Amino acid sequence: MTYSGKIPVLGLDSYPYWKGRMEAFLVSQRQDIWDATQSTTFVVLPVAERTTQDIVAQH
């Protein structure tokens, strides 16, 4: 599933709304992109090193 709209823009008084939209946008790109924003220990592997087992092991 891909996001067909624009990237959400943060307004001065709309942080809760923006946060939900940004999460939906990042998850629609790839779940691991959102996961990287939630974990201080998340390590993005080079494409050549990514396997399904590696990704599953990180979760």
Domain membership of residue 42 (yes or no) is yes
Q: Is the distance from CB of 18 to CB of 11 less than 8 angstroms?
A: yes
For residue 4, what pLDDT is reported? Answer: 58
* CB half-sphere exposure, 27, CA atoms < 13 A: 7
The residue segments making up the domain with residue 24 are 15-58
Higher pLDDT, 42 or 2: 42
On whether residue 30 sits in a domain, the answer given is yes
Task: Please check whether residue 38 lies inside any domain of the structure.
Answer: yes
Residue 8 lies in a domain: no
Q: Which residue has the higher pLDDT, 52 or 12?
A: 12
For residue 33, being part of any structural domain is answered with yes
Model's pTM, two decimal places? 0.52
- Over the stretch 20-54, which tens digit does the pLDDT of each residue have? 998 998 888 888 888 888 887 877 777 766 667 76
> How far apart, in whole angstroms, are the C-alpha atoms of residue 37 and residue 22?
11
- Tally of structural domains, the chain: 1
Domain assignment of residue 31, yes or no: yes
Question: For residue 3, is it within any domain?
Answer: no
